Amino acid sequence: MDRETMLTMLRDMLLARAFEERAAQEYTKGNIAGFLHLYPGEEAVAVGVIRASEPGDYIVSTYREHVHALVRGIPPRAVMAELFGRRDGCSRGMGGSMHLFDAERRFMGGYAIVGETYPVAIGIAYGIAMRALDDVVICFFGDGAVNQGTFHESLNMAALWRLPVLFVCENNRYQIGTEIHRHSAVAEVHRRACAYGMASGKVDGMDVLAVHRATREALQRIRGGGGPELLECETYRFRGHSMADPGAYRPKVEVQSFKEKDPVKLAIRETLPYYPTAAEMAAAGPDSIATLKRQASDAGHLDGDVLADLQREVADIVEDAVRFAEQSPEPTLDDAWAALECNRRGEALL
């Protein structure tokens, strides 16, 4: 992987962390209401998966989807304004934290009933297959969602008709407060895919490079007509299920052990010393990893300024997003009626 891509992913992860921590503060201040499910700890999954996708691919996500939306390219201003319930939010203030949408960027939504993402994903994929297009649908879900009937129903149909879907399990080991061994007879989610003859794999969801690599390979196979696949990403959320949940049910030692694997810190460690620029890679030719590493190091890529600059940049972006959200107007009841009747298209009903 070239240094530019790696830096992009590092920046995504830093922005994700900063954005979510700020959202928590704004929630505490009362600027954000309702349910707020935050993503710290799981950044490597959204970033690794979505950065490995093409702009034409569709994303279907859950209610813990702010970071998926940001990585997909929805402006932080529009995401923050949505959390604030304002008119300039990406769902015009009608959806909120759990229901971010962006048709233009093929961000097909945050779904807040557990297990809804599968049927939506196979429906989009059905359309792609029917029209013989090249796009793939990426369907996110958590470990708690694999015991819904729709998981089995939809995986069956996806495999039966060879629909272009990558099912991505963000296995953070807890369905709210119930640990995976207390909710699933088979705790290794990827093994369930074999019931439908579907290829599947497991990856360290704290390692953005590993997630990116596994996703890229899976998407290549799916795009090549190989049928749907399931990728299980083993990850962890550092916070409770939502802002309403202190997460007291988890042993401190467990939380601590996962924090030592903080995906953002891991990405920082990975990025700075090793990654050459695309130009350097091209110039070096094949079998040159060792050389490139030395060159990159000699060229000053260890320079801590890069990291400091990135952190400053994302802090500014988040600050700007909050200012924007604060100033965005409240939607009106007329806006709500317009959203409800958005598909009327002038049709006379009576």
What one-character DSSP code corresponds to residue 224?
A: I
d(CA 238, CA 255): 7
Q: Contact letters (x/-) for another protein, 38-77, by CB under 8 A?
A: --------------------x-x-----------------
Q: Contact letters (x/-) for another protein, 2-41, by CB under 8 A?
A: ----------------------------------------
Interface with another protein by CB under 8 A: which range of 5-13, 45-53, 153-161, 285-293?
A: 153-161
The token duo for 312 is 């400053």
Quickly list H helices, 191-303: 208-221, 252-259, 263-274, 278-284, 289-298
Nearest to 62 by CA among 34, 100, 25: 100
What is the per-residue DSSP string for 126-158? HHHHHTT----EEEEEEGGGGGSHHHHHHHHHH
What one-character DSSP code corresponds to residue 330?
A: P
Instruction: Tell me the closest approach of the beta carbon of residue 106 to another protein, in angstroms.
Output: 9
Q: Contacting another protein (CB under 8 A), which of 124, 168, 206, 214?
A: 124
Interface with another protein by CB under 8 A: which range of 68-76, 88-96, 213-221, 319-327?
A: 88-96
d(CA 244, CA 240): 8
Interface with another protein by CB under 8 A: which range of 250-258, 282-290, 316-324, 339-347?
A: 339-347
d(CA 45, CA 67): 10
Instruction: Tell me the closest approach of the beta carbon of residue 298 to another protein, in angstroms.
Output: 50
Give the interface with another protein as residue ranges (CB under 8 A): 58, 60, 89-95, 99, 101-103, 108-109, 111, 113, 116, 118-127, 129-130, 149-150, 153-154, 156-157, 160, 335-336, 338-340, 342-345, 347-350
